[in-house]
Structure formats: C-alpha cells, structure tokens
Amino acid sequence: MSGISPVGGFVPFSIPTTVSPVVGAGAPDVTGVEQAAGGGFATALGQGLQSLQQTQTHADELAVQAATGDLTDVHDFMIASTQAQLATELTVTLRNKALDAFNEIMRMQG
Amino acid sequence: MSVFSVIGIAGSGATVYRKWLDAVSDNIANLNTVRPTSEAAYQEQRVIAEPMPGGGVQVAGTTVSGSPEGKLVYEPNHPLADAQGYVRYPDIDLSSEMTQLIMAQRGYQANLSSVDRAREAYQAALQLGRG
C-alpha cells in the first residue's frame, strides 16, 4: 500500500486573454456622473432632503387621517411610513458616508 | 418617489384588492335584501381593474352583473309581497362570493408581501453603506 495516492497537482485553468464585452450592457454613462459632480454633493443632498421632506409630510398627513378616522386604506399609511423610514435611512447613510470621506481626508494632514 | 417605486406599485395593487373586498362584502351583506316585485332586485357589484400608465393598477369603475329580475320567491306573509304573494331576492351565489373573498384576500396579502420584500431588499442595500 502506498498510502494515500497523491492528489494530482493544481492545474491552472486557462485564463481567457480577451474578455468579450457583455452584450446590451453598453458603456457606462459618464456624462451623467460628470454633470452630477458639477452640481456638487451639497446640491444633491439638498434635493434628497427636499424629497425626504415631501415623503415625511405625506406620511404625517396619513397619520393625522388615521387619528381622526378619515383614513380609507390602512395599508396606505403603513406604506407611506415605510417609504419615509427608508428614505430617511438612505439620506442618513449617504450623509454618514460623505462625512466619513471628509474626515478621512482631514486626517491626511496629521 | 421613483427610488421606491416597487412599494408604490404594490400599494396600488393592495388598494384595488381592498376595493374588491368591499364589493364582495357588499354583495354578501345584501344577499337577503328583499325587494317588492315592482322594483329591480339588488345586483351583484363587480370591480373593474385596469393597468396604470406609470406602473401599477387602479380601479376603472364598478359594474353590476346578474339580472335585475333576481329570484322570485313565493312568500305571501312577507310585508313586501305583491298580490300573487311573490317577492324579489337578489340572484347572488354565496359560494361564488366566498371564492372571490378568498381571491381578494390572498391578492391583498400578496401585494403586502411585495412591499415587505422590497423593504427588506432596500434595507439590505443600505447595509452596504454602514460597514
């Protein structure tokens, strides 16, 4: 008995030298990114906050309707509050990420 | 808000199914609504759904099905009975209404499941930014 037969060595698989482009994906739209960058992050965040304000106002209106008994659809209120919650989380996450990046750059001086 | 359009679309579906539930419960409630033979019987209410242009579904309107003649029942002691002793009952099949009730309830639940899944998916995406 020769014991455990050796495992045939690692055979490197052939790496394709040319990667065919994914059909239909197309080139990324760089112009849109550049335009957004031109507006600045503050503008984008401001627009996001305005949109968030609208969502929360809508949820608040439905909350008042629920309290006064004028609410026709229970799910409308629940959906509006879910949207407001998600929009808030999205905005806060974006703001935190931007703040992290800013702090990271400020630490470069030290 | 276009970012969370899944939630809005599923919400429109839930509204349509809620109106279907309303129509079915209206039909069941009026199952024994008696009319004199000089008037038309209560007719079954149906909800017409149509797709919304921007995505989603909405109620185009309601229609009535079944005959206005209903079912003539011989009840001479009924206060609304005519000279021959007949009254008009609505021509509604209770088992059909119960089936529609189940379909409307399940459709409502399915749309709310979509909302819940979309919320979970969005929150998972947001978790990417918290690391």
Question: pLDDT tens digit string along B97-130?
Answer: 999 999 999 999 999 999 999 999 999 999 987 7
Q: Please name the residues in contact with B19: beta carbons below 8 A apart, sequence gap of 6 or more.
A: B47, B59
Q: Is the whole model's pTM more than 0.90, yes or no?
A: no
- In angstroms, how far apart are the furthest CA atoms of chain B? 82
Chain B CB contacts of A79 below 8 Å? 7-8, 10-11, 14, 115
Report residue B65's pLDDT band, with 50, 70 and 90 as the boundaries.
confident
Give the DSSP H or E segment for A45: helix A41-68
CB contact under 8 A, A90 and B3: yes
Judged by a CB distance cut-off of 8 A, whether residue A84 touches chain B is no
> Does the pLDDT value for residue A99 go beyond 70?
yes
Question: pLDDT tens digit string along B85-104?
Answer: 999 999 999 999 999 999 99
Interface TM-score (ipTM) > 0.95: no
CB contact under 8 A, B14 and A83: no
Closest residue in A to B14 (Cα) is: A75
Q: Please name the residues in contact with A87: beta carbons below 8 A apart, sequence gap of 6 or more.
A: A51, A52, A55, A56, B1, B3, B4
